[in-house]
Amino acid sequence: MDLNLRGKHALVCGGSKGIGFAAAAVLADLGATVTLLSRDQATLEAAVVQLDHASGQQHRVLVADLSQPEAVQQVLAGFVAEHPVHILINNAGGPKSGPIVDASADQLINGFKTHVLSSQVITQAVLPGMRESGYGRIINIISTSVKQPIPGLGVSNTIRGAMGNWSKTLAGEIAQYGITVNNILPGMTSTERLASLFDAMSAQLKMTPEAYAEQVRKTIPMGRFADPAEIANAIGFLASPAASYITGTNIVVDGGRTKSL
């Protein structure tokens, strides 16, 4: 099986921590040069030092706020001309928790900008280089809510569904160029995002975060939360030459928790 990514350049959004950083580490381990994109310069610099040390390569950072797609577009314009991207990981922090009936228009607009619009402008920026090189992998980190909405995550459920249909449409349009588009749907994964969600949900239910986490854990057939590296391993496969005929699909990585196929 060909998993070799030597000579390939990966752009990992939200790459300074969590699933994004784990994905960057796997891609670097497979031989890719990685650019980490996030909004916090200090966190990015610390992350790239760690990535360089672990991989023995030199990687890059880009500072951009995904909630401002126009600014993201400007940051990428010159960068991709000098550093064509072969692998794009669209990944952003999820919207604030809460019921959809309580969500403001601004919350929905901000979520749409951060996820759908930024993914759109980034994809448009990197596609010419993918076509020219004859290699392209676009992998979107979304959520199992694409298949089964998660209670208490109204805005996230809405925006993730939009991302799912955006990516399925894109996959059909660019398959002719040999460029694949796939979605990873992570389940409950041990990240800062999950911890903050558990804090918010447990407060609403007047439980301790630990008690709430245990309650959620019992809904997972494997009986545990995912390590970010387990999500990243699936990303690494989809980014590789071995996944050349897989496109337009959702890969659920959730320990069996989602109840639909």
Supply the DSSP string of the chain, one letter for each residue.
Answer: -----TT-EEEEETTTSHHHHHHHHHHHHTT-EEEEEES-HHHHHHHHHHHHHHHTS--EEEE--TT-HHHHHHHHHHHHHHS--SEEEE--PPPPPB-GGG--HHHHHHHHIIIIIHHHHHHHHHHHHHHHHT-EEEEEE--GGGTSPPTTBHHHHHHHHHHHHHHHHHHHHHGGGTEEEEEEEE-SBSSHHHHHHHHHHHHHTT--HHHHHHHHHTTSTTSSPBPHHHHHHHHHHHHSGGGTT--S-EEEESTT-----
- The 10s digit of each residue's pLDDT in 151-190 is 999 999 999 999 999 999 999 999 999 999 999 999 999 9
Which domains are seen in the chain, by residue range?
Answer: 9-187+227-252 (3.40.50.720), 188-225 (no CATH)
pLDDT in tens, 183-214: 999 999 999 888 888 888 888 888 898 999 99
Predicted structure pTM score: 0.95
Q: For 69-102, how does the pLDDT look when each residue is reduced to its tens digit (9 = 90+)?
A: 999 999 999 899 999 999 999 999 889 899 999 9
Average pLDDT over the chain reads 96
Please check the confidence at residue 221 and state whether its pLDDT lies above 90: yes
Q: What is the pLDDT confidence band of residue 108, given thresholds at 50, 70 and 90?
A: very high
pLDDT of residue 190: 93
